[in-house]
Amino acid sequence: MAETTYAKGLEGVVAAESEICRIDGEQGKLYYLGYSIEDLARYSDFEETTYLLLYGRLPNRDEMEIFSKRMRASRDLAPEILDMVRNFPKDAHPMELLQSVISYLSGYIQHRIQHSATCNCRDTLHQVVQLASVVAAWQRFRESKDYIQPRQDLSHGANFLYMMRGQEPDEYEGKVMDTCLVLHAEHGFNASTFTARVVASTLSTCYSSISAAIGSLYGSLHGGANEKAMAMVEEIGSKDRAADWVNRALDNKQKVMGMGHRVYKAKDPRAIIMEEFLAELSKRKADTRSYDILKIVEKTFRDRMEEKGKPIYPNVDFFSGAVYDLLGIPKILFTPIFAVSRVSGWLAHILEQRRDNRLYRPKSLYVGTQPREWVTMEKR
Task: Measure the CA–CA gap between 380 and 375, rounded to whole angstroms.
Answer: 6
Catalytic residue chosen out of the listed positions 45, 178, 268, 317: 317
User: Taking the mean position of all CA atoms in its chain, how far away is CA 91?
Assistant: 23
Task: Measure the CA–CA gap between 340 and 334, rounded to whole angstroms.
Answer: 10
CA dihedral sign of residues 332, 337, 340, 345 = negative
**Domain 18-218+333-355 bears CATH identifier 1.10.10.10:** no
3-state secondary structure of 178: helix
CA dihedral sign of residues 131, 133, 139, 144 = negative
Residue 317 known to be catalytic: yes
Q: What is the pLDDT of residues 49-103, one digit of tens each?
A: 999 999 999 999 999 999 999 999 999 999 999 999 999 998 899 999 999 999 8
Beta bridge partners of 31: 22, 36
Task: Measure the CA–CA gap between 21 and 263, rounded to whole angstroms.
Answer: 13
Q: What is the pLDDT of residues 261-308, one digit of tens each?
A: 888 888 999 999 999 999 999 999 999 999 999 999 999 999 999 888
Q: Which helix (H) or strand (E) holds 338?
A: helix 334-355
Residue 187 known to be catalytic: no
pLDDT band at 242 (very low <50, low <70, confident <90, very high): very high
Task: Measure the CA–CA gap between 50 and 67, rounded to whole angstroms.
Answer: 10
Question: Do the beta carbons of residue 279 and residue 291 sit within 8 Å?
Answer: yes
Q: Is 253 exposed, middle or buried (0-12, 13-18, 19+ CB in 10 A)?
A: exposed
Nearest to 140 by CA among 119, 161, 117: 161
CA dihedral sign of residues 40, 43, 46, 52 = negative
Q: What is the pLDDT of residues 183-223, one digit of tens each?
A: 999 999 999 999 999 999 998 888 899 999 999 999 988 88
In this predicted structure, what is the pLDDT of residue 365? Answer: 86
Catalytic residue chosen out of the listed positions 126, 261, 268, 325: 261
User: Domain 225-326 - what CATH class?
Assistant: mainly alpha
Q: What is the dihedral of CA 174, 175, 178, 179, to 10 degrees?
A: -150
Which pTM does this prediction carry? 0.93
To the nearest whole percent, how much of the chain has pLDDT over 70?
A: 96
Q: Where are the domains of the chain?
A: 18-218+333-355, 225-326
Q: How far apart are the first and last CA of the chain?
A: 34
Name the DSSP class of 378. G
